């Protein structure tokens, strides 16, 4: 198995632009998590899905952030408009529903100038 | 409510000496506890997991952790540090069987001195 695949690995954009991060979970996994990691705040859970349904989005910072999971093999995290304070590494992780071991992707490093 | 506290944000040890990374947790139930490792510019990788079968859990790369209920601790140890152990380590408490929560600690960055 290829593991959790995230794209792009690096994204540099200008303030005000729309950014879309993509994630392909491990085949057969039906829970998907989006995290943000910064030096100041550490690792933060933004949102997670079970069976493509958002369960807890209380970690999403504000309305500029949105996440979708149109099918079991694909999810997106969108920031519109982006701001410099959104600069961080964004991780996607997947697991089986109810299982507690998560498998992480390599992350997307986002820089908003 | 669950919580996890990693007592040190940075730990420095010399190569070949023991490693101790401290973690305390709080949980209303019988939690599952984990340690994850994150090497520079990489995603998190599971080191080991405790699920009540045995209090001493062995993980990859020579790491182990001991669950002490009386102290609500789950400290990570390794007898002899290697340069390749330099990374950030996260203690995690999970109760996905009940309230579906997974809580990550703030992380401890381990530095290995030559």
What is the 3 state secondary structure string of B22-55?
A: CEEEECCCCCEEEEEEECCCCCEEEEEEECCCCC
Taking residues B56-68, what's their average pLDDT? Answer: 94
For A36, name the nearest residue in chain B, comparing CA atoms only.
B43
What is the rounded distance in angstroms from the CA atom of residue B65 to the CA atom of residue B89? 13
Query: In angstroms, how far apart are the furthest CA atoms of chain A?
Result: 39
B97 touching A (Cβ < 8 Å): yes
Cis peptide bond prior to A8, omega within 30° of 0: yes
Output A58 or B90, whichever has higher pLDDT: B90
CA–CA distance, B92 with B2 (Å, rounded to integer): 10
pLDDT (0 to 100) of residue A1:
62
Neighbours of B60 (CB within 10 A): 10
Q: What is the CA radius of gyration of chain A?
A: 13
B100 pLDDT higher than 70? no
Instruction: Indicate if the pLDDT at residue A105 is higher than 80.
Output: yes
Q: Is B94 in contact with A100 (Cβ distance < 8 A)?
A: yes
Question: With 60 as the cut, is the pLDDT of residue A109 above it?
Answer: yes
Looking at chain B, which residue has its C-alpha nearest residue A9? B41
Q: What mean pLDDT, rounded, does chain B reach?
A: 90
Residues of A in contact with B94 (CB under 8 A): 100
Chain A residue closest to B98 (CA)? Answer: A98
State pLDDT tens for residues A11-70.
999 999 999 999 999 999 999 999 999 988 888 899 999 999 999 898 898 899 999 999
How far is B5 from chain A, CA to nearest CA, in Å?
A: 13
Cβ distance of A100 and B96 shorter than 8 Å: yes
Q: How far apart are CA A19 and CA B16, in angstroms?
A: 45
Disruptive mutation site among A7, A101, A103, A108 for chain B (greatest number of B CBs within 10 Å):
A101
């Amino acid at each position: 198995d290829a593991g959790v695949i995230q794209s792009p690995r690096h994204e540099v954009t200008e303030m005000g632009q729309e950014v879309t991060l993509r994630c392909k979970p491990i085949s057969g996994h039906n829970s998907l998590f989006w995290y943000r990691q910064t030096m100041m705040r550490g690792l933060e859970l933004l949102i997670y899905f079970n069976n493509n349904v958002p369960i807890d989005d209380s970690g999403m910072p504000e309305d500029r952030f949105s996440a979708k999971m149109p099918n079991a093999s694909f999810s997106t995290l969108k920031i519109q408009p982006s701001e410099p304070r959104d600069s961080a590494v964004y991780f996607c992780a997947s697991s089986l529903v109810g299982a507690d071991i998560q498998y992480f992707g390599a992350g997307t490093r986002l820089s908003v100038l | 409510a669950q919580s996890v506290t990693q007592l040190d944000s940075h730990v420095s040890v010399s190569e070949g000496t023991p490693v101790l990374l401290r973690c305390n947790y709080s949980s209303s139930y019988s939690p599952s506890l984990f340690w994850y490792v994150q090497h520079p510019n990489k995603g998190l990788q599971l080191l080991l997991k405790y699920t009540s079968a045995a209090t001493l859990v062995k993980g990859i790369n020579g790491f182990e952790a001991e669950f002490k209920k009386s102290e609500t601790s789950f400290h990570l140890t390794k007898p002899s540090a290697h340069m390749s152990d330099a990374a950030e380590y996260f203690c995690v408490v999970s109760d996905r069987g009940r309230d579906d929560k997974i809580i990550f600690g703030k992380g401890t960055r381990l530095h290995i001195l030559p």
